[in-house]
Amino acid sequence: MDSMLVTGGCGFIGTNFVRYLLKESDFSGRVINVDKLTYAGNPENLSDIEKDFPERYIFTKTDICDQEGMARIFEDYRIDTVCHFAAESHVDRSIVRPDAFIQTNIVGTFNLLELAKANQGRLILFHHISTDEVFGSLGKEGFFTEETPYKPNSPYSASKAASDHLVRAYYKTYGLPITISNCSNNYGPYQFPEKLISLMILNALEGKTLPVYGDGRNIRDWLYVKDHCTAVWTIMKHGKRGETYNIGGKNEMENIGLVEMICDVLDEHQKREDNLPRRELITFVKDRPGHDRRYAIDFTKLTRELAWIPEESLETGIHKTIQWYLDNQEWVSRIKSGEYQSWIEEHYG
């Protein structure tokens, strides 16, 4: 793997993966980061990487749906490996505007697969990042495995399910060397404040209300983002071509319990000015349409075959995440004010 294309590398998980790849892993090649820079993409996340690894890190603002632009990137940089993160990923946004999800998640993936197929002579691997949401909703018992039938319930998860099927079809039909990973909910540094954990942390710090959908009893399995990065790299190095691997954190919790944990940990780190507990900020709001009740990942296959296990518990991961946000208030301010978008406009047009 000498020349790896990372799509969506300025997003939350992509940023953490690029940082891990160049600073902590045994990867010795170069990374070509392609990102469209939608609202959640921020190249400032990697400004130190650009400075510290000038020969090994290249960024280009390009839409994965731009066939000609992506074809030039494949040719100019002699891409031999693809790690495909780029996606519209917020369920609420998919309910309001599903067209963007169809375009990026399905058409964009198809475009990348076509280019990978055209360059199959030198392609080592096409790794596709997906989600546990493609499996639908679980009852009180059981876990998603790699054999669980797909049953997506939102436009977002349906678009990711479609992209998974396309990737698998290109392996079966054209022999494209692929692997797929389906992960549980990620959290950690650099997360745009729209997902549950990041939103709750920042709202709680500002003394704003903490909106919890429905009765708050929806259950998710939480995966610290660095654990996700180590799992992806393990799969890319050692995973069997054509196989799917589930990545989970073994950290199930009801949403209300998670929000209460965030409040309590924040109170430990930084008291409110009025000295009241942050739990008082919690408020229940109308549930969103098609809100899956429970997700839980069985990652036995990844542990058994590739010897991967997550390092962080939910408690240790939440402490690390909160500390990161407290230590990076300038980043938070630029994100919340939209100032980072002016920087992107100035540098990339």
Q: Which is more confidently placed, 96 or 62? A: 62
- What total number of domains does the chain contain? 1
Residue 265 inside a domain? The answer is: no
Report which of 141, 191, 187 is spatially closest to residue 10, judged by C-alpha positions.
Answer: 191
Residue of 80, 133, 164, 260 marked active site: 133
As a whole number of Å, the end-to-end CA separation of the chain is: 31
Helices 314-327, 255-269: inter-axial angle, 10-degree rounding: 50
Angle between helices 109-118 and 155-174 (to 10 degrees): 20
Q: Assess if residue 270 is contained within a domain.
A: no
Residue with tokens 């799969």: 235
The whole-number pLDDT of residue 177 equals 98
pLDDT tens track for 208-242? 999 999 999 999 999 999 999 999 999 999 999 99
pTM to 2 decimals?
0.95
Task: Return the bridge partners of 247, or none.
Answer: 183
**264 counts as catalytic:** no
Please tell me whether residue 209 adopts helix, strand or coil conformation. Answer: coil
Mean pLDDT along residues 148-163:
96
Q: Is residue 333 assigned to a domain?
A: no
Judge whether 299 and 317 are in contact, CB under 8 Å: no
Q: Is 36 part of a structural domain of the chain? A: yes
Selecting among 35, 44, 88, 132, the annotated active-site residue is 132
- One-letter identity of residue 143: F
Q: CATH number of the domain at 109, please.
A: 3.40.50.720
pLDDT in tens, 258-280: 999 999 999 999 999 899 999 99
Residue 245: active-site member: no
pLDDT tens readout for residues 166-214 = 999 999 999 999 999 999 999 999 998 888 999 999 999 999 999 999 9
Asked whether residue 349 is assigned to any structural domain, the reply reads: no
Whether 340 is covered by a domain: the verdict is no
What tokens does 271 get? Answer: 């008291």
**Strand pairing category for 57-61 and 185-187:** unpaired
From 20, 57, 156, 190, the catalytic residue: 156
In a domain, 267, yes or no: no
The answer as to whether 196 is a domain residue is no
Domain of residue 227 covers: 3-187+223-250+289-313
| Catalytic residue flag (residue 132) | yes
Give yes or no for a contact between 37 and 61, defined as CB atoms under 8 angstroms apart.
Answer: yes
